[in-house]
């Protein structure tokens, strides 16, 4: 074969070199945004508990946020399929920065609960647009690389950012006004938007920027995938709602212990992202999802009989199981849904999860502080165990058909 010309070789080298730089820029944005996002919810939960609102106050806030997310998720998915996803993510990052900065100033003069409820609605709208756009960008920024490895890297960096937020939460919240934490964490969204602005993506295919009018075909496989995501999401938000009260009221711990809980969850999530690639080679995705749901149920139920430091091990295990499931579900969704409707598929999946989350928040609000958080953990774990046979029936039928 004739030798490749120097011009063509240089062009190819530039394209190959540009792809890792684009992906690294995307990872840097993911890391910064993850610190800001998780730090926001940690600061909200602790500010409410410290102000005397307890689990009921946290559940009320997250129930309101869930309604906003339920409405915003399908719209965010449609927007991500219609417009440039990178620019949408940048705009959403700027919006999250503005909301957090406004929250910091408002907390100096206004009551905590109504301030955070309004802030949560505005933040969740921007947050859903950012997350939907960012996760729908993964196949675009990772072209030419293994999809499972790319998703595992993204979620590893995301959880590393969560760990950073947990480590920052203790010093920022201990002995200081929550306004300081919100103002400091808001800066990370500026870093995220700056990293995205420096990225140079190749032109997006026309079908991605202009919806073809068709919605994703929802079959039995997608329904099972959506249900697994909803249950894992429900377990995660239950930890968010009850975690602060579990430490503050049931375990009698200070803010530092709450930071340790969040750090254990994030550390476990990092391990989950690392283990994902190996597990997917050994276990089929549907069976893996059922195993993760069962293990999550047992871990939640064990909290009723444990004390620190064993509870930290359980929360680390829960974080590991959650991230394993999240990455696996993301890869499965990206593999079975066309890129032109990926945003809308993610919007529909998250809407179902938020509906379950809203049910959890509403129940927590009604129960208030009359039930121990460990009892609520145990009850949700029992619900997970009951749901597993129903989901496994769908898996068995599909296997029999093939």
C-alpha span between 212 and 280 (Å, rounded)? 32
**Which single residue is written with the structure tokens 């011009």?**
7
**Comparison of pLDDT for 63 and 102, the residue scoring more:** 102
- Binned at pLDDT 50, 70 and 90, residue 13 comes out as very low
The stretch 214-229 carries a mean pLDDT of: 73
**Which single residue is written with the structure tokens 């996760």?**
135
Among 88-92, 137-141, 314-318, 319-323, top mean pLDDT goes to 88-92
pLDDT the model gives residue 282? 62
Chain centre to alpha carbon of residue 305: 28
Dihedral angle, C-alpha 67, 101, 180, 266, nearest 10 °: 50
CA distances from 13 to 4, 6, 8, 9, 20 (A): 12, 10, 9, 6, 12
Side-chain-side CA neighbours of residue 37 (13 Å): 24
CA distances from 12 to 5, 19, 77, 203, 233 (A): 11, 11, 34, 17, 42
Contact 82/291 with Cβ under 8 angstroms?
no
Alpha-helical regions (H) of 199-336: 206-209, 220-245, 255-282, 285-302, 310-336
C-alpha span between 367 and 382 (Å, rounded)? 18
Burial 78-108 (b: 16+ CB within 10 A, else e): bbbbebbbbebbbbbbbbbbebbbbbbebbe
For the chain, how many helices (H) and strands (E)?
13, 0
pLDDT tens profile 347-384: 888 888 888 877 776 776 676 666 777 788 888 888 88
- Binned at pLDDT 50, 70 and 90, residue 215 comes out as low
Counting every residue, how long is the chain? 402
**Comparison of pLDDT for 286 and 380, the residue scoring more:** 380
pLDDT the model gives residue 207? 44
- The sign one gets for the Cα dihedral 193, 197, 203, 209 is positive
In the DSSP assignment, the letter for residue 309 is T
Tokens at residue 387, please? 């749901």
C-alpha span between 157 and 138 (Å, rounded)? 13
C-alpha span between 169 and 39 (Å, rounded)? 7
Q: Count the neighbouring beta carbons within 10 Å of the beta carbon of residue 126.
A: 22
Share of the chain above pLDDT 70, in %: 79
C-alpha span between 2 and 35 (Å, rounded)? 52
pLDDT the model gives residue 92? 93
CA distances from 5 to 9, 13, 70 (A): 6, 12, 54
- Binned at pLDDT 50, 70 and 90, residue 281 comes out as low
Structure pTM? 0.73
Tokens at residue 134, please? 């960012």
Nearest CA to 258 out of 270, 267, 249 is that of 249
């Amino acid at each position: 074969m004739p030798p490749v010309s120097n011009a063509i070789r240089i062009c190819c080298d530039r394209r190959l070199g540009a792809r890792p730089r684009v992906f690294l820029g995307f990872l840097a944005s993911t890391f910064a945004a993850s610190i800001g996002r998780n730090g926001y919810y940690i600061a909200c939960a602790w500010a409410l508990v410290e102000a005397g609102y307890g689990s009921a106050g946290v559940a009320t806030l997250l129930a309101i946020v869930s309604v906003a997310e339920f409405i915003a998720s399908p719209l965010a998915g449609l927007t991500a399929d219609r417009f440039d996803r990178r620019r949408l993510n940048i705009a959403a990052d700027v919006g999250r920065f503005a909301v957090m900065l406004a929250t910091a100033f408002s907390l100096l003069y206004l009551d905590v609960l109504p301030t955070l409820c309004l802030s949560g609605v505005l933040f969740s709208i921007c947050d859903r647009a950012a997350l939907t756009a960012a996760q729908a960008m993964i196949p675009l920024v990772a072209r030419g690389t293994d999809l499972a490895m790319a998703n595992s890297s993204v979620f590893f960096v995301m959880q590393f950012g969560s760990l950073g937020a947990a480590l920052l939460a203790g010093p920022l919240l201990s002995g200081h006004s929550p306004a300081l934490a919100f103002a400091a964490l808001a800066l990370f969204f500026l870093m995220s938007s700056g990293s995205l602005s420096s990225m140079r993506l190749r032109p997006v295919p026309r079908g991605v920027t202009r919806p073809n009018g068709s919605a994703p075909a929802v079959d039995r496989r997608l329904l099972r995938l959506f249900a697994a995501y909803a249950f894992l999401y429900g377990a995660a938000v239950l930890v968010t709602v009850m975690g602060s009260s579990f430490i503050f009221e049931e375990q009698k711990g200070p803010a530092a212990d709450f930071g340790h809980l969040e750090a254990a969850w994030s550390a476990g999530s990092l391990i989950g992202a690392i283990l994902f690639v190996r597990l997917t080679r050994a276990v089929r995705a549907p069976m893996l999802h059922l195993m993760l749901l069962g293990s999550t149920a047992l871990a939640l139920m064990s909290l009723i009989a444990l004390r620190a430091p064993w509870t930290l091990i359980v929360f680390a295990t829960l974080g590991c199981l959650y991230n394993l499931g999240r990455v696996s579900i993301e890869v499965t969704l990206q593999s079975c849904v066309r890129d032109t409707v990926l945003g809308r598929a993610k919007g529909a999946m998250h809407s179902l999860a938020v509906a379950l989350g809203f049910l959890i928040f509403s129940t927590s609000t009604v129960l208030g502080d009359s039930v121990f958080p460990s009892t609520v953990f145990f009850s949700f774990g029992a619900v997970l165990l009951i749901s597993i046979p129903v989901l496994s029936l769908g898996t068995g039928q599909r296997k029999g058909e093939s």
